[in-house]
């Protein structure tokens, strides 16, 4: 079984400042890892994913994340945020094994960018 | 390619009525997933379907909820005799295989 923990329910940050959104996971099997963004009253948009290979993954809108197997983490970072980055961010994990490719989501982190 | 289409976007039902949510996957995608997002929570897996088959329904409530993905037409998530606790956003996602999800914009169900 897999689980995802997003410790920060809300992260306030000023525009043009760097930000890190934390994600830790637990799993008894190898995993795929994802970050999704959800703007108000909209669906989820994939920011980036880790499937294999390089542990530093670059995504859309200037975001990147680093897979750290020893710390079971997949933190999301952006060096300089914009007002338009204000949204809910979800970390998710999917296990390799089994017939189902279902995603297990964290509870989300609201990134609130202030001018 | 129109993406994953869900309709309606908003649905209001009185307690005891039936809610029917539709999801048309992306062209060429034969795998469909339904998720529910309760207020202030993340998404919870409900059911995974391939054409004419339910592969994993471990997240579906035991009563009142059912899902199908017929050979022709959209996938349907049906909720019978809705209660206030069913109010949520329901998201559908599709994929061509076991990876690469694309989510729809969701159906927001309000039970009054």
Quick check: A17 pLDDT over 90?
A: yes
Q: Which residues of B touch A107 (CB under 8 A)?
A: 41-42
Q: Where in chain A does DSSP place strands (E)?
A: 3-5, 10-14, 19-21, 24-26, 31-38, 44-50, 56-58, 64-68, 73-78, 87-95, 104-105, 109-114
pLDDT of the residue at A98: 59
Q: Which residues of A touch B26 (CB under 8 A)?
A: none
Quick check: B2 pLDDT over 80?
A: no
Nearest residue on chain B to A4, alpha-carbon basis: B42
What are the tens digits of pLDDT across the range B8-43? 999 999 999 999 999 999 988 889 999 999 887 789
Subunit contact B106:A100, Cβ cutoff 8 A: no
Task: Please identify which residue in the block is written with the tokens 């001018």.
Answer: A115
Could you give the dihedral angle defined by the CA atoms of residues A110, A22, A63 and B91, in that order, rounded to the nearest 10 degrees? -50
pLDDT of the residue at B32: 94
pLDDT of the residue at B41: 78
Phi, psi of A84 (to 5 degrees): -70, -10
Q: Would you place residue A29 in the very low, low, confident or very high pLDDT band (cuts 50, 70, 90)?
A: confident
Quick check: B96 pLDDT over 90?
A: no
For the record, the structure tokens of B109 come out as 């169900």
Average pLDDT over residues B76-104: 90
Between these two residues, A43 and A59, which has the higher pLDDT value?
A: A59
ω into A86 cis (within 30 of 0) = no
Of A43, A90, A104, the CB nearest to B104: A43
Quick check: A24 pLDDT over 90?
A: yes
């Amino acid at each position: 079984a897999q689980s995802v923990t997003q410790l920060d329910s809300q992260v306030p940050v000023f525009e043009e400042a760097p930000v890190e959104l934390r994600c830790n996971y637990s799993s008894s099997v190898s995993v795929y890892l994802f970050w999704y963004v959800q703007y108000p009253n909209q669906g989820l948009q994939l920011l980036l994913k880790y499937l294999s290979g390089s542990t530093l993954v670059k995504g859309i809108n200037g975001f990147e994340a680093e897979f750290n197997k020893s710390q079971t983490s997949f933190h999301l970072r952006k060096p300089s945020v914009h007002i338009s980055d204000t949204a809910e961010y979800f970390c998710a994990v999917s296990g390799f094994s089994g017939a189902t490719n279902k995603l297990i989501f964290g509870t989300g982190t609201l990134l609130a960018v202030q001018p | 390619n129109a993406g994953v289409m869900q309709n309606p976007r908003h649905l209001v039902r009185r307690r005891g009525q039936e809610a029917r949510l539709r999801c048309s996957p992306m062209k060429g995608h034969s795998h469909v997933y339904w998720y529910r997002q309760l207020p202030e929570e993340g998404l919870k897996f409900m059911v995974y379907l391939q054409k004419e088959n339910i592969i994993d329904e471990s997240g579906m409530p035991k009563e009142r909820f059912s899902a199908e993905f017929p050979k022709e037409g959209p996938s349907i998530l049906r909720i019978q005799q809705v209660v206030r606790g069913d109010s949520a956003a329901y998201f559908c996602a599709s994929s061509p295989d076991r990876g690469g999800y694309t989510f729809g914009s969701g159906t927001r169900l309000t039970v009054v």
